[in-house]
Amino acid sequence: MSVNGSTPLLELRDVSASYGPFKAIFGVSFTVRHGSVLAVLGSNGGGKTTVARLCCGLLAPTDGRIVFEGEDVTGRRPYRFARLGIAHAPEGRSVFASLTVDENLVLFFRQALGKKAVADATERAYAMFPRLGERKRQVAGSLSGGEQRMLTLARVLVEEPRLLIVDELSLGLAPVIVDDVYETLAKIRDTGTALMVVEQHVRHALGLADDVIVLTKGQCTYAGPAGDLGDLSDHLLARGTSDPTGDGR
């Protein structure tokens, strides 16, 4: 099987997952192609974040298989997913609010890359996000929501992941900041990193995506090319929500 040809970067094969007695997703299947952007759309409670957690090893499936470049990685620990080149930028502003921007980066890079790599990694982070360089001495908790999301992305992108999973990137951000952040995602895609964008902001997600899955109440109601959404795409944009049925949680 050709890794760069027919073999997808990541596959979920008929995957189900639960939180204790609560069943979150049911028999979900999709693929992420090398260098592509997959948008994961759906209403609150539809299963989007569960899918993100499965794809980076934070949650193990109860049924089905997770496959990375043809290798079954089901049930492996999160650090092993990270070693494969899968990075996760979770929902919310995952920063140490009382530390400066520089201290946040140094702390993360020292743990992830080792002390000798910190200076180079920090320099690359500021080159990638010049606005963070302008605020390197500023306490992270005082940054805008968009800047905090940039700080989260900078920490994971310096390692040049093969797959970046971003969860609800636009949550709570002003529209102009959302535009800036999605421009950054497009630049990341252009470097060859595959993206899985978990999102409720439909217009931005569809504008970036090559492929789309739509989750409704834990089930996949669409999986395929973004251009083949047809009437469903118009429906999602008209509603301003990614719930194709209108009855999602």
Residues 166-213 have pLDDT tens digits of 988 777 677 777 787 788 888 889 989 999 999 877 888 888 999 999
Listed by start position, the domains of the chain span 10-90+163-239
Q: How far apart are CA 213 and CA 46, in angstroms?
A: 11
> Contact at 8 Å (CB) between 35 and 193?
yes
pTM of the model: 0.81
Q: How far apart are CA 189 and CA 4, in angstroms?
A: 16
We find that the CATH architecture of domain 10-90+163-239 is 3-Layer(aba) Sandwich (3.40)
> Contact at 8 Å (CB) between 73 and 84?
yes
Please give the C-alpha separations between residue 128 and each of 153, 154, 192, in angstroms, as whole numbers: 10, 7, 15
The length of the chain is 249
Determine which helix (DSSP H) or strand (DSSP E) holds 174, and give its type and residue range.
none
β-strands 63-68, 163-167 pairing: unpaired
- The confidence score (pLDDT) of residue 134 equals 94
Is pLDDT of 244 > 50? no
